[in-house]
A and B are shown apart, each in its own frame.
Chain A
Amino acid sequence: MTLSEWINRNKRDGRAKRLDYNYAFLDEVSKREIRRKILKAVAIPGYQVPFGSRELPVARGWGTGGIQITLSIVLPEDILKVIDQGCDGSVNAVNIKRFVNVVTGVRITTDTREATLIQTRHRIPEEPMTERQILVLQVPYPEALREVEPSEAVTRRMHAEADYSRMWLFLYEDIVKFDEITIGYRYPVTVNGRYIMDPSPIPRWDIPKLHMADTLYLFGAGREKRIYAVPPYTPVVPLEFEDYRFRVEDFKGRACERCGATDTYLDEIIDDVSGRRLWFCSDTGYCDKRCSR
């Protein structure tokens, strides 16, 4: 049986439903636990809250942290958008939104403005988001200090004591060796003046969007069993020195080949035929919207 046959077999009243599963796939007790952990994460911005990561029909490490958060908070009236590296149409994004649609019947969109709940991997949408929206980020490695300390017991103690000199030393050594901070993505940030947090592998371009945002950001790491959050209007500051400032990627002189945008995060693509370097918006939903204007 193909997936579409399976979905059609369970359609009632035009809405996809899978009756032998609970609403939103997870059982109510699991969802309640995850919601409780989300509340804790919101209460302590940037702190990694351990949670009991459930089995899902995809392997851990394939966005299960984000999926579990989405499934735990999704309401029947929500409008869902799922993106992977900015793209609405990639295999992961399509499969995740189809799955959530099957188990909940929520409406799907590619429009950032229309969506009430957005699950994403590695990007924050270009269009500003509002207080009425929630962004769920998939996180592969929730521990920002893992680069400098392999032991989980030690990193937890370091967070507890705000003992972050080794992370700063890592940046200092980078400057000594390369005369700049060479972290391209997963750029460590200080949340609410307290915890150093891994913002998930978003590009530096997206880091400023976390600062004093209107939107609630939830981070889920299914394999590593951690949930953390940046509540709305929380200061999020990238680690930087007074004389070596944080900066975002530089796309000066480049524009999207499709929509002509010069103020978006661009992906570099090499044309197989001509061998030319082309630049396109990484946020496909936004690019489509600009093209259809």
Chain B
Amino acid sequence: MKPLLEVRGLTKLFGEGCDHCLPGGVAADEGNRCSRCGTVVGCGGVSLEVYPGEVLGVVGESGSGKSTLVRLIHFEYDATAGEVYLNNGQDAPRQNLLEASSFRRRQVRSRAMGIVYQNPTLGLRMQVSSGGNIAEKLLAAGWRNVSEIRRRAADLLRRTEIPVERMDEPPVNFSGGMQQRVQIAKALSNNPQVLLLDEVTTGLDLSVQARVLDLIRSLQRELGIAMIVVSHDLGVIRLLCQRTLVMRHGRVVESGLTDQVFEDPQHGYTQLLVSSQL
């Protein structure tokens, strides 16, 4: 089977870089900051594949480059180096999207990708109605019929358990859990092929966490969307993901089947991570 999303050697340096850290970035055991030039390695040569319908987990401590990785894939930062391919069956020639024009990247993003951030203020316009937030994505994908847009938005909100009567209220009126579900509805609106979830349950209380996770799992089963789930919470990863990458200092230190990684961790850091779980 062909992977849906391929990432090769994705690198993001915050800073100039120097001879000491440049080819390949700072050695992982040295941390992620170059001792000579002060360059920080956000993401150092990360490669991964996501297959259709697969859920890939990314774990690691804070500062390990998980969010940077997701945002690089979502084209929010300019990568220093690397390749990203999306094999979505369209006729367009296979192209490294990091080298594509920003116009093309925007098209790929608005037609094939969805993202949910930890902080709903990043993913939503807080003063615009919830329906409008979903509409924005549909409008970007070329929808031009208000009643169709509203039908689709209502449908998504119903699925994510937001009362449809509150569709025209801005998310600023909603609780944190509801905002998160509006974000998920927005991310799903364009039928994305890849959904990026960046610490979606962090900061929610346990019962709300459970409902959001249930929602994600049922949507995944129903729609078969490929996902990259970023979390520092091993429980979330274990629940959702078939395969997992463990990141530290901007690099992947271990990867494999989720159960295998957590039952039989090979890398010292993964062992520490697993044994630190309460």
Contact = CB atoms under 8 A, between A and B. Distances in A.
Contact of B132 (A161, A169, A241, A242): A169
A6 interface: no
Q: Which of A160, A175, A241, A244 has the most CB of B within 10 A?
A: A241
Contact of B106 (A161, A169, A172): A161
Contacts of B147: 243
A166 B106 contact: no
Contacts of A160: 102-103
Contacts of A157: 102
B139 A165 contact: yes
B180 interface: no
A153 interface: no
Interface string B137-177: 10110001111010000000000000000001000000000
A163 B147 CA distance: 22
B244 interface: no
B141 to A, nearest CB: 9
B168 A176 contact: yes
Contact of B146 (A161, A162, A163, A244): A244
B129 interface: yes
Interface residues of A, number: 17
Given A160-B103, A173-B129, A176-B129, A165 B144 contact: no
Interface residues of B, number: 20
B103 A165 contact: no
Interface in B90-111: 102-103, 106, 110
A244 B129 CA distance: 19
B75 to A, nearest CB: 11
Contacts of A168: 136, 139, 144
B131 interface: yes
Interface string B119-137: 0000001001101100111
Interface string A228-244: 00000000000001111
Contacts of B168: 176
B145 A165 contact: no
B177 to A, nearest CB: 24
Nearest to B168: A176
Interface in A252-283: none
Contacts of B144: 168, 241-242
B145 A241 contact: yes
Contact of A162 (B103, B128, B129, B137): B103
B265 to A, nearest CB: 44
A172 B140 contact: no
B28 to A, nearest CB: 36
Contacts of A175: 146
Nearest to A175: B146
Contact of B136 (A161, A169, A244): A169
9 contacts: A161-B103, A165-B110, A168-B144, A169-B128, A169-B135, A173-B129, A176-B129, A176-B168, A242-B145
Top 7 closest pairs, chain A to chain B, by CB: A165-B140, A168-B139, A242-B145, A165-B139, A169-B136, A161-B103, A241-B146
Interface of B: 102-103, 106, 110, 125, 128-129, 131-132, 135-137, 139-140, 144-147, 149, 168
Given A169-B132, A242-B146, 9 more contacts: A165-B140, A168-B139, A169-B125, A169-B135, A172-B149, A175-B146, A176-B129, A176-B168, A243-B147
